[in-house]
Amino acid sequence: MHVDKYEQVWIRISIFVLVVFTLAVLTATVSAGIQVPGVEGRVDPNLITTPGASPWAAPSVRELAPGKYEAYVLAQIWRFDPGEIRIPAGSEITFYVTSKDVQHGLKIMDTNINMMILPGQVSKLKTTFNNPGTYDVVCHEYCGIGHHTMYGQIIVEATADTTTTE
């Protein structure tokens, strides 16, 4: 069967691209561990507000140790709970966020915190707030008619160390 020279070239390029993509997917999946959300880090949305069954029943910020915090944040239409978080400057904080109802997003302005929040799925990110100030938290996944009203704040309070060094 006659195949044009240029068509042969493009067939080879196509096969090469497919092989590269296959290897990239295999590497990402089995080696780098990039995968769709699994069983770990999931929570039953039906039990999420049941006291004792989940930490999101009483969303809060907890001090693990001096300068180290964890925040259990519940996203729901159309607010974050807690809506305001206060931590001292220089603190490391780990966010555990889930949704009670529909898909939401959580973006903390002026930081690289940017998460998609799905019901039943726990999203986790850790960051350190070195600079005092107020950081706005917005939902950046459309979640309904009140989406634009869904926001919160993280207030990073100056400490003696930060005020004397600045």
* Helix-then-strand count for the chain, H and E: 2, 10
Which is nearest to 91 in space by CA: 59, 133, 124, 127?
127
Among 12, 21, 42, 63, binds another protein (CB under 8 A): 63
Q: Does 51 bind another protein (CB under 8 A)?
A: no
DSSP state of 38: -
Least distance from C-beta 47 to another protein, angstroms?
12
Site string (69-108) toward another protein, x via CB under 8 A: -x-----------------------x--------------
Q: Does 26 bind another protein (CB under 8 A)?
A: yes
Least distance from C-beta 110 to another protein, angstroms?
26
Among 58, 64, 109, 155, binds another protein (CB under 8 A): 64
The residues near 131 (Cβ < 8 Å, ≥ 6 apart) are 89, 156, 162
Q: Does 66 bind another protein (CB under 8 A)?
A: yes
The residues near 69 (Cβ < 8 Å, ≥ 6 apart) are 61, 62, 63, 87, 91, 92, 93, 94
Q: Between 33 and 51, name the residue whose CB sits nearer to another protein.
A: 33
Backbone angles phi, psi at 152, to 5 degrees: -150, -175
Q: Could you list the residues that contact another protein (CB under 8 A)?
A: 26, 30-31, 33, 62-68, 70, 94
